Each structure stands twice: as structure tokens, then as C-alpha cells.
Amino acid sequence: MGLLSKKDAALITDPLADNNPITIQVLGICSALAITAELKASIVMSLSVLFVLGVGNVVISLMRNIIPSKIRIIVQLIVVATLVIIVDQVLKAFAYDLSKTLSVFIGLIITNCIIMGRFEAFALGNGPWRSFLDGIGNALGYAVILIIVGFFRELLGSGTLLGFKVLGDPIEKTGLYALGYENNGFMLLSPMALIVVGIIIWVQRTRNKALVED
């Protein structure tokens, strides 16, 4: 890591594991449950959050000294809303089907606790470069969980990955389906996403006992 100092590198690596926004801080759960039935949707959602959080953190950080503290939440909301609308419009223009799948959840990035949380906790008190790294780091931490959950839900729920039938064709009974395997419909329902996130939390805390609370 010649590019970044050790302290800066930690901004990116910490949220990936031991300070993960979803599994440790338990933020941004709603979108993690709602849109992870397909891997593709998870990836697009992650990219959207990456963009919003990265740019938003920089913008807030640049303005941090001129925002009156009484109205800072409103300013933050305007910044995030602007960015989310950009993402939404881009998706509608270039990936209409996906934007249909993600429906309101792109719009709901505005209310994603991770974003407001990072604005409040980090961007308001740090320079633009460090805020940018923090935004990217947290968005990547979010992305890791979304992609893991999306991977398992799509693989076990629909037997596909990114739309490719990796386990064979369920109708023509090829591949695994020839042996009597069937897709697990429960995986496509939101409760199962919660359970998958729960299992990730369980595994993570078993590997690192320091994360266990109380």
C-alpha cells in the first residue's frame, strides 16, 4: 500500500470486516433484505451506494465548515437526494429492467442509515480525501455483504448466477435437477435474507470473539 498511509488504508479495510456497516453496526439492513434475491440487483445496488456514499462524503466534507450545524441534516438530505436522483435517472435510462427490479429501493438509498451515518460521523469532521476513502470503504463493506447474500439467495433460490443456469435447467431436468434437486423457494423470500445475514454475523463473531457484545 504505497499509495495510502496505514491510517488511510484502515479507512477502507476496517469496514470490510471488523467494522462492517451491515454485520457489525447493523445499518442498511432493509435494502440488504429487499433486493438480494438476485446477484445482479445486489451488484447494481452496491455500485449505486458506492457512488452516492463516495461522492456524498466528499461533498459534505468540502462544505463541512460552512454548513450551520442547526440545519446540517437538511443539507445532508439534499446532497444525498440529489445523488440518488442522478443514480435513479441513469439506471432508468440505461438499465430500465434493473431499475424496475430495484423499484423504490434506489430511491430509498436516501434513507439508508449507512449514508447519513457516515456523513454525520465522518465527513463532517474530516478532510475530503479521507472522507472519500471512508465512503468507499463503507460502501464496499456494504457491497461485500450484499453480494454474499445475493450469491447464496440466487444460487439456492433460482439455481442461477447473474441469470446463468449454473445448476442446470429446472424444466428440462438437466444438471443437478436430473438428480431430483429442486430450487429452494424460501431463499427468494425476504425472511431468508435475514437468516443469511444472521448466519454471516454468526460466522464472523465466531471467528473473532472480540466482536461479541456484552
Partner 1 sequence: MGLKQNLHNLKEKYKGTKMAPAFNAIHTFLYLPNETTHGGTHIKAADDLKRTMNTVIMALVPCLLFGMFNAGYQHNAAINGFTEGMSFFSGDFWNMDNFLVGLTKILPLVIVSYLVGLVIEFIFAVIKGHEVEEGYLVTGMLVPLIVPVDLPLWMLAVAVAFGVVIGKEVFGGTGMNILNPALTIRAFLFFAYPTWMSGDKVWVHGAVEAAGTADAISGETVLGSLAQSQPISYSVSDMFFGFIPGSVGETSTLLILLGALFLIFTKIGSWRIMLSSVIGALVMGFIFNQVVDMGWVGETSKFYGLMSLDFWKHLLIGGFAFGAVYMATDPVTAAQTNKGKWIYGFLIGFISIMIRVFNPAYPEGVMLAILLMNVFAPTIDHYVVQGNVKRRLKRLKAKTA
What whole-number distance in Å separates Cα of residue 133 and Cα of residue 136?
5
What is the C-alpha end-to-end distance of the chain, expressed in Å? Answer: 35
What whole-number distance in Å separates Cα of residue 104 and Cα of residue 35?
10
**For partner 1, which is the closer residue by CB, 129 or 186?**
186
What whole-number distance in Å separates Cα of residue 26 and Cα of residue 141?
12
| Minimum distance of partner 1 from residue 184's CB (angstroms) | 4
| Minimum distance of partner 1 from residue 189's CB (angstroms) | 6
**For partner 1, which is the closer residue by CB, 63 or 189?**
189
**For partner 1, which is the closer residue by CB, 24 or 187?**
187
**For partner 1, which is the closer residue by CB, 90 or 156?**
156
What whole-number distance in Å separates Cα of residue 32 and Cα of residue 186?
16
| Minimum distance of partner 1 from residue 186's CB (angstroms) | 4
Q: Could you say which residues in the range 69-98 bind partner 1, by CB under 8 A?
A: none
Residue 129 in contact with partner 1, rule: CB under 8 A: no
Q: Could you say which residues in the range 162-201 bind partner 1, by CB under 8 A?
A: 180-182, 184-187, 189, 195, 198
| Minimum distance of partner 1 from residue 201's CB (angstroms) | 10
* Alpha helices in 14-71, H assignment, sequence order: 29-34, 39-63
C-alpha cell of residue 187: 431463499
Judged by CB under 8 A, the number of residues near partner 1 is 11
From residue 91, alpha-carbon distances to 47, 83, 86, 119 in Å are: 11, 12, 9, 24
What does the binding site for partner 1 look like in residue numbers (CB under 8 A)? 180-182, 184-187, 189, 195, 198, 202
